[in-house]
Amino acid sequence: MNRVMKGAILLLLACFVMVAAGCPAPVVNEIKIGVIGPMAFVQGEHHWYGAQLAAEEINAQGGILVGDEWYQITLAQVDSNEMLSVTDAATAMEMAITVENVDFLVGGFRTEAVFAMQDVAMGYEVIFLGCGAATVELCTLVADDYETYKYWFRVTPINSSYLGMVDFLLLGMVAEEIRAELGIETPKVAILAEMAVWADSIVAAAYVYLPAMGMEIVGEWRPSPIATEVMAELSAIEAAGAHIIFTTISGPLGITYARQWGELEIPAASVGINVEAQKEGFWDATVGKGNYEMTMNTYARVNITDETIPFIDRFVESAGEFPTYNAGTYEALYILKAAIERAGTLDSDAVVAELENTDRIGTAGRIVFTDAHDVTWGPGYVTGLGVQWQDGEMKCVWPPADGSWEGVVYEGAVDYVLPPWMVEYWAP
Amino acid sequence: MGTISIYIGRLYKDFKGGILVLPSRTIAFFFCLLLLLIPLITTEPYILRVLILSSIFAIFAASWDLLSGYTGQMNFGHALFFGVAAYTSALLNLHVGLPPWLTIPLGALAAVLAGLIVGVPCLRLRGPYLALATLAFPLILTGIIFVIPGITGGELGISGIDPLSGSRLTDYYIAVILMLGLGFVMWKITASKTGLIFHAIREDEVAVRASGINTTRYKLLAFCLSGLFAGVAGGMYVHFMRIAGPSTLELMLSFQAIIWVIFGGIATIYGPIAGVFILYPFMEFLRIIPEIRMLVFATLVVLILLFMPEGLTTWVRDKIEKECPRCKLRNIATRKSCRVCRADLD
């Protein structure tokens, strides 16, 4: 190639670069969705990872079809700082709506802050899909004052009443197992709940429901949520002759308790809520002593629907962590996409009407909203799960694998196993 | 026409002699003017929200200064007054149906009562013992709130409260005018004979009692006055946020008030107001770097305290003004002799 030719090619390339740089970028329609949550905490991080995963998938498929135009999703991360300041949370919500100009919002975690954020969003008539706070009252407002609060929907978790119901269903299943395997007709239950307000209502309910469920309460122990030592409580529980420890724990106590329960081989099955046991790091944190610990959860490697396991895999791949229920922002974005496409417009009222018609087979079950814009709980809808740690793996054990609860069976679910040291201790 | 010109002339003379004569007063005047004129520049709801909350917290911080800065009664649980007023206003509004212009003063009166309840048992305590005792009261009230969730809403708080007014602009003017008015009242109290006694109690309580002054009465008065102003802030907050929850009693809120006051300048009243109006919007600005927001905030506060131990406003005032060694009046730093007694300033 002679020098003239080389020069001509370089000139051509230069012209091409200049023209390309000068060309206006193609106009891309965008829908801006605010992901609001406590971003310095795991709950906010999972809000973000879930939404990010859904946005990437939806955008890769072309985006959202509004009428006959395609829109790409742009996410705005909004740190509500709600764990530390309710004021900050409401201000962040207003900033997202008026400064960032988001079209829709997903997220929220701490109930008091979500109430404040909800009011701001409703004031601006911006649709807010809740993905963290379980309080029933957030949806009661929709039923009481529909015109003001109709822009609020709860996608995850199931509300606090249903969470309580699942908690007692898990307890009932373990009691049945003890009756069948050990021949103990009236299992004795020790209540071990952290000293926190949210646990009080569950403890109070236990005193009402347990005798009716054929169980006897032998005592109530209330250690601190951050206790690093519960051997005294566990020894007292053993001395009281308990067959079941009914746990209500959200703090780091969950690790201490499970580790010492396994170390001491307390002859009582452990069931209830232990938030630490919902995380994948639980096994290592308890050095394997948390084997047979059982807790309520939202996700497990089980086919709640065909979407569940592929979602968990993709989430773990992108975030490096097992999803908590706050990752339901993933679901929220798909629900929103479908409603917008059905409405054919971004107008809030039209989208609300279509959100009310939602019937989606999602990652945690079939999502249908109630009249109060709450996620429906029950067989055939979102049910929640009971998971048990079995030899290093978090296995789904409720709904039971034999379909004994309303005929609901999730492929991959296994049978619940009583701790072997307990069986040995109480064997007839 | 001539009479009007005379009045305008007099007004200008007073303005020049009373405000423009000192840089600190000039800054304060233009700050007030700017606050009142901001809606002419922008009606952006987010900016107005930040300024409304700054105004509410400025009243709250100044009320802490009135009690702890002036009388030295170290109160580590100031959120008690804020929370009592917040819950009282919310309950009266929700269950009795009283409008905000009634619930806010009634909430403030409840906070005064709280001031009395806290003040009486704490009067015999001093220093760290008093600080710890005051710290306990909001925790006790939080416990009570959780015990009677049927009335207080427990962990969820009380929602569905009437807004302060129907519009953001009206909210803004209510908050700003109340802040300026109450700030002025607090400043006048501290500049009065009562304020002088508050000062004296902080410096040497025994000496004050030896002078025949009933210090118990004045300390109780300080608790009640502080409760009153903090209560107004609590009532306004609850009608602006439309929720009264346990967060209105959190320790964090009590500590924030102390940070604002120490940053702005303790025992000044205008210092806490400046502290809030600098730090609160600054925290909002730091949302652009959420990961290191708290770190930057803490660094700024530490730096200010390191280089300006008496607070920002006191440091600035001492740089731009000088006190006359003879008549104790303040003069602009550039003057060689006192503007009143002509004494040498250098």
Q: Which residues contact A167 (CB under 8 A, 6 or more apart)?
A: A202, A248, A272, A273, A296
Residue A82 falls inside a structural domain: yes
Residues A150, A188 within the same domain: no
Question: Is pLDDT of B57 > 70?
Answer: yes
Residues A186, A287 within the same domain: yes
Q: How many structural domains does chain A have?
A: 2
Structure confidence at residue A20 as a pLDDT band (50, 70, 90):
very low
Residues A64, A199 within the same domain: no
| Residues in chain B closer than 8 A to A36 (CB atoms) | none
| Nearest CA among A276, A297, A324 for reference residue A397 | A297
Distance, CA of B339 to CA of B23 (rounded, Å) = 14
Q: What does B119-186 look like in DSSP terms, one character per residue?
A: HHHHTT--HHHHHHHHHHHHHHHHHHHHH-HHHH-GGG-EE-PPPSSSSHHHHHHHHHHHHHHHHHHH
Say if CB A215 and CB A244 are below 8 A apart: yes
Distance, CA of A123 to CA of A145 (rounded, Å) = 13
Per-residue pLDDT tens over the stretch A151-206? 999 999 998 889 889 999 999 999 999 999 999 999 999 999 988 777 887 898 99
Greatest mean pLDDT among A274-283, A320-329, B227-236 lies in B227-236
The whole-number pLDDT of residue B345 equals: 84
Q: How many structural domains does chain B have?
A: 1
- The token pair at B281 is 């919007």
Domain that holds residue A335: 29-157+304-368
Residues A142, A173 within the same domain: no
Tell me which amino acid residue A49 is.
Y
E runs forming strands in A231-320: 244-249, 269-274, 294-297
Question: Is pLDDT of A3 > 80?
Answer: no
Q: Which residues contact A166 (CB under 8 A, 6 or more apart)?
A: A158, A296, A383, A384, A386, A398
Work out the angle at residue A260's Cα, subtended by the Cα atoms of residues A259 and A264, and round it to the nearest 5 degrees: 125
Residue B279 falls inside a structural domain: no
Cβ–Cβ below 8 Å for A137 and B156? yes
Q: What is the DSSP letter of B291?
A: G
- The token pair at B302 is 């530490």
Cβ–Cβ below 8 Å for A85 and B247? yes
Residues A402, A256 within the same domain: yes
Residue A20 falls inside a structural domain: no
Instruction: Answer whether B157 touches A (CB < 8 Å).
Output: yes
Chain length of chain A? 428
Cβ–Cβ below 8 Å for B49 and A116? no
Residues A418, A314 within the same domain: no
Q: Which of A87, A147, A161 to mutate to test the interface with B (most CBs of B within 10 A)?
A: A87
Distance, CA of B177 to CA of B170 (rounded, Å) = 10
Residues A317, A388 within the same domain: no
Q: What is the DSSP letter of A186?
A: S
Per-residue pLDDT tens over the stretch A43-71? 899 999 999 999 999 999 999 999 999 99
Residue A117 falls inside a structural domain: yes
Question: Is pLDDT of A260 > 90?
Answer: yes
The reply to whether omega before A223 is within 30° of 0 (cis) is no
Cβ–Cβ below 8 Å for B284 and A119? no
Residue B183 falls inside a structural domain: yes
Percentage above 90 pLDDT, chain B: 70
Question: Is pLDDT of B333 > 60?
Answer: yes
Nearest residue of chain A to residue B243 (CA atoms) = A116
Distance, CA of B218 to CA of B202 (rounded, Å) = 11
Percentage above 70 pLDDT, chain B: 100
Percentage above 70 pLDDT, chain A: 94
**Helical residues (DSSP H) of A183-240, grouped into ranges:** 197-212, 231-239
Residue B237 falls inside a structural domain: yes
Element (H, E) at A72: strand A69-79
Nearest residue of chain A to residue B163 (CA atoms) = A119
Percentage above 90 pLDDT, chain A: 79
pLDDT, averaged across chain A: 91
B259 exposure class (CB count in 10 Å sphere: 0-12, 13-18, 19+):
middle
Question: Is pLDDT of A23 > 60?
Answer: no
Q: Which residue has the higher pLDDT, A155 or B166?
A: A155
**Helical residues (DSSP H) of B214-269, grouped into ranges:** 215-241, 251-264
Residues A47, A99 within the same domain: yes
| Mean pLDDT within A313-336 | 94
Nearest residue of chain A to residue B146 (CA atoms) = A197
Question: Is pLDDT of A387 > 70?
Answer: yes
Question: Is pLDDT of A15 > 50?
Answer: no
The whole-number pLDDT of residue A10 equals: 52
Question: Is pLDDT of A5 > 60?
Answer: no
| Mean pLDDT within B27-39 | 95
The whole-number pLDDT of residue B211 equals: 92
Q: What is the DSSP letter of A275?
A: G
Cα→Cα distances A112→A95, A103, A134, B248, Å: 19, 23, 11, 11
The whole-number pLDDT of residue B46 equals: 95
Structure confidence at residue B1 as a pLDDT band (50, 70, 90):
low
Element (H, E) at B102: helix B100-122
Q: Which residue has the higher pLDDT, A19 or A83?
A: A83
Question: Is pLDDT of A408 > 80?
Answer: yes
Q: What is the DSSP letter of B60?
A: H
| Mean pLDDT within B248-274 | 94
| Mean pLDDT within A396-416 | 93
| Mean pLDDT within B215-234 | 95
Nearest residue of chain B to residue A149 (CA atoms) = B160
Structure confidence at residue B4 as a pLDDT band (50, 70, 90):
confident
Distance from CA of B203 to the nearest CA of A (A): 36
Residue B324 falls inside a structural domain: no
The whole-number pLDDT of residue A8 equals: 53
Per-residue pLDDT tens over the stretch A64-109? 999 999 999 999 999 999 888 899 999 999 999 999 999 999 999 9
The whole-number pLDDT of residue A19 equals: 46
- Contacting B with CB below 8 Å, chain A residues are 39-40, 77, 79, 81, 84-87, 90-92, 94-95, 98-99, 111-113, 115-116, 119, 135, 137, 141, 197-198, 200
| Mean pLDDT within A12-20 | 49
Residues A290, A407 within the same domain: yes
Residue A276 falls inside a structural domain: yes
Nearest residue of chain B to residue A77 (CA atoms) = B290
B338 exposure class (CB count in 10 Å sphere: 0-12, 13-18, 19+):
buried
Give Cα A133 distance to the centre of its chain.
10
Cβ–Cβ below 8 Å for B287 and A137? no
Cβ–Cβ below 8 Å for A112 and B247? yes
Cα→Cα distances A281→A47, A138, A288, A291, Å: 19, 32, 11, 13
Residue B199 falls inside a structural domain: yes
The whole-number pLDDT of residue A24 equals: 47
Tell me which amino acid residue B58 is.
A
Structure confidence at residue A1 as a pLDDT band (50, 70, 90):
very low
| Nearest CA among A130, A78, A156, A93 for reference residue A323 | A156
Distance, CA of A270 to CA of B200 (rounded, Å) = 63
ipTM over 0.90: no
Residue B333 falls inside a structural domain: no
Residue B135 falls inside a structural domain: yes
3-class DSSP assignment, residue A94: helix
Cβ–Cβ below 8 Å for A141 and B159? yes
Distance from CA of B266 to the nearest CA of A (A): 25
Nearest residue of chain B to residue A88 (CA atoms) = B284
Element (H, E) at A77: strand A69-79
Residues A218, A333 within the same domain: no
| Residues in chain B closer than 8 A to A115 (CB atoms) | 156-157, 159, 243, 245
Residue with tokens 């054919």: A344
| Residues in chain A closer than 8 A to B241 (CB atoms) | 86-87, 90, 116, 119
Nearest residue of chain B to residue A79 (CA atoms) = B290
Cα→Cα distances B92→A6, A87, A221, B46, B298, Å: 85, 22, 38, 29, 38
Residue B69 falls inside a structural domain: yes
Cβ–Cβ below 8 Å for B46 and A91? yes
Residues A310, A346 within the same domain: yes
Distance, CA of B312 to CA of B304 (rounded, Å) = 7
Residues A357, A396 within the same domain: no
Cβ–Cβ below 8 Å for B49 and A91? yes
Cβ–Cβ below 8 Å for B243 and A85? no
Cα→Cα distances B125→B115, B120, B135, B257, Å: 15, 10, 13, 22
The reply to whether omega before A400 is within 30° of 0 (cis) is no
The whole-number pLDDT of residue A250 equals: 83
Domain that holds residue B199: 45-271
Cα→Cα distances B182→A294, A322, B232, B266, Å: 57, 53, 9, 17
| Mean pLDDT within A252-275 | 94
The domain that holds A185 is classified in CATH as: 3.40.50.2300
